Structure 1
Amino acid sequence: MAVHLMTVFWMNLAHITYQISNVVIEIFQYGLMTILSMEFRILAYKFENLKSLIEEKNEIEVKIKQVFPSEPSTSNNINQPKKRSALIRLQDIKPLVDKHNELFEFRNLLQDILSLSLHLRFILSSFQLCFLAFQITKSKEKYLFVAEMVKNLLNIFFQCYFGQMLKDSGHSIAKAIERMEWENIKDLKVRRSLLMIIRRSQKSIALRIINTYEITVEQFTTILASAYSYYTLCLEVF
């Protein structure tokens, strides 16, 4: 009797530990993907509002010169300060380009870390959804498997949702630069740099399974289709 109780206790403890570990790992993964998505969105905001930020900087410089003039100024110059236009120079976009490169490096590092775990989860979830659906169809006690099936569906959905969020945040850089009317910038070097960023941002940054399949909302429908095909096969066999 004591051995039986100890065995049941140990099995429940192992199951609870396993579930807690899964939850912690998922939160950690989704947290990293969310932070990276936010960084891309912030960078897109800086690109889109680059002209206004430069204008504000120029206005501050003009006010500082009015308060602490380096040369004697006439009263007309003081009463009518000149507002400098927002001329985007190469040095203005250099910090943004460097930040973009850093985010891509972080994305590649995240891909190397999570690639294997994401791949295994997709494979296991496809089979689990198949067998759970089969158990619900054939078993008389369906309620025992419904909760587990819903949990697996939510796990896959959230993984695909955060993957889609990361992909959209990467494309937001190109859209932001297009909204700032980069083609009207006079400096040719600046236009070329922005064009290179647009081309790079149009490339998907979505995390991939074995460097082939993107983790997006479309992948969620692919998993459901695979699970359904396995399910129909089981119905025919059994």
Structure 2
Amino acid sequence: MNIRELSIDLETYSDVDISKCGVYKYAESDHFEILLFDVSVDNLLVTVYDLTAGDVIPLEILDALSDDTVTKWAFNASFERICLSNWLRKHHPEYFKSYNHKEDPVHNYMNPVSWRCTMIWSAYMGLPLSLEGAGMVLRLQNQKMKEGKDLIRYFCSPCKATKANGGRTRNLPGHAPDKWELFKAYSGRDVEVELAIKQKLSKFPVPDFVWDE
């Protein structure tokens, strides 16, 4: 398979609060994991890989992640790039390639040169800085699912131990199978929305100097 582009969305878990510590500390936690890996190859149908259920990401996609000739797209792409860098180093080091740039003190992560961000594209066009907001303004046929925030809160962060939940501090897919199936649908929809944003904005490309910045 000769891959030209990947459009990616991740659903992840960490015991670190990303709003307080940022994505680097969030992804460096020993308890960090990728729950769902959603991807469209060359703008085709979206596939959701459920890593909690043992789904295996194809080797050609793993190889493409660190291939600087393959363009990787995501909304707020720095999150996907940092999370996948840590995940690859831990689980598939043979597919991880870092970069070294004298003007960039942050090393041991995938090279940002081949990553593109639909959030930056939206910002450049004066659109809202959220996937939901951008989709609404562009009047996309498929919008971001509104159930997402509650599902992210349920599966992606630690929970408070109570008598009602048996004293657990984390909600797993098996604790709410119906919610998990909805979460998978929500996750895949995010990539579909990103693809639609790219299509809508295709006549208004971001200049190369902005991507360089």
Asked whether the two chains share a fold, i.e. TM above 0.5, the reply is: no
Work out which of the two has the higher radius of gyration on C-alpha atoms and give 1 or 2.
1
- TM-score interval, smaller chain: under 0.3
Q: What TM-score comes out, normalization by structure 1 length?
A: 0.19
User: What is the TM-score normalised by the length of structure 2?
Assistant: 0.21
Q: Point out the structure with the larger strand share.
A: 2
